[in-house]
Amino acid sequence: MSFSVALLLAVGLAMDAFAVSISKGLSSTENHVRLGLRLALTFGIFQSGMTLLGYFAGNSFKSLIESFDHWVAFTLLLIIGGKMVWESFSKEEEEESGGETGIISTKTLLILGVATSIDALAVGISFSVLEVTLLLPVLMIGIVCALFSFSGVFIGKWAGRHLEQQAELFGGVILIAIGFKILWDHLSP
């Protein structure tokens, strides 16, 4: 696989993680450098790891994942996005009662890691069928995803300062939209 093809593939796979990072940058009160590093590490590892997992699972696993991968990603993003939308409407009550800190939990990070890397699993399966050499594309996928995720947080933080009241609602809508896009891409002819 050529460098340019690996780079284009990595950018394409990183888009979901990038959008999630923007939405988390919009809604989180966590230090933006810390948040960016946490998301970059999580998403980079999950993208590369799921690609490897897909590769090693190979053809025998392909038929099982293809039939429902889009539903898994859709459901996870719908739940997390719906939670963010719900919280955006109850934000005043939380602030008055000392509610959430705005720091993303490890559990949420892991769920987001899985939800944004389902497509990487499918790519890994296709790598096994095509007998692609893994080193370049797997490294490229992880690094590009990490860079996009880190920068997405800063874009989200910047936008959050301009959209303070609607930030969490907007972030949740982004996640739900990504879920529907994944579903649409897999169900449309």
Q: Which residue has the higher pLDDT, 130 or 142?
A: 142
Mean pLDDT of the chain: 79
Confidence band for 65, pLDDT divided at 50, 70 and 90 = low
Q: What's the chain look like in SS3? A: CCHHHHHHHHHHHHHHHHHHHHHHHHHCCCCHHHHHHHHHHHHHHHHHHHHHHHHHHHHHHHHHHHCCHHHHHHHHHHHHHHHHHHHHHCHHHHHHCCCCCCCCCHHHHHHHHHHHHHHHHHHHHHHHHHCCCCHHHHHHHHHHHHHHHHHHHHHHHHHHHHCHHHHHHHHHHHHHHHHHHHHHHHHCC
Tell me the percentage of the chain whose pLDDT exceeds 70. Answer: 78
Q: Which residue has the higher pLDDT, 74 or 76?
A: 74
Say whether pLDDT at 161 is over 60.
no
The pLDDT of residue 73 is 66
Predicted confidence (pLDDT) per residue in 104-124, tens digit: 788 888 998 998 888 888 788
Q: At what angle do helices 69-89 and 106-130 cross, to 10 degrees?
A: 160
The pLDDT of residue 43 is 96
Predicted confidence (pLDDT) per residue in 19-60, tens digit: 888 888 887 777 889 999 999 999 999 999 999 998 888 766
Contact yes or no for 80/174 (Cβ under 8 A): no
pTM of the model: 0.70
Contact yes or no for 92/168 (Cβ under 8 A): no
Say whether pLDDT at 172 is over 90.
no
The pLDDT of residue 98 is 40
The pLDDT of residue 66 is 65
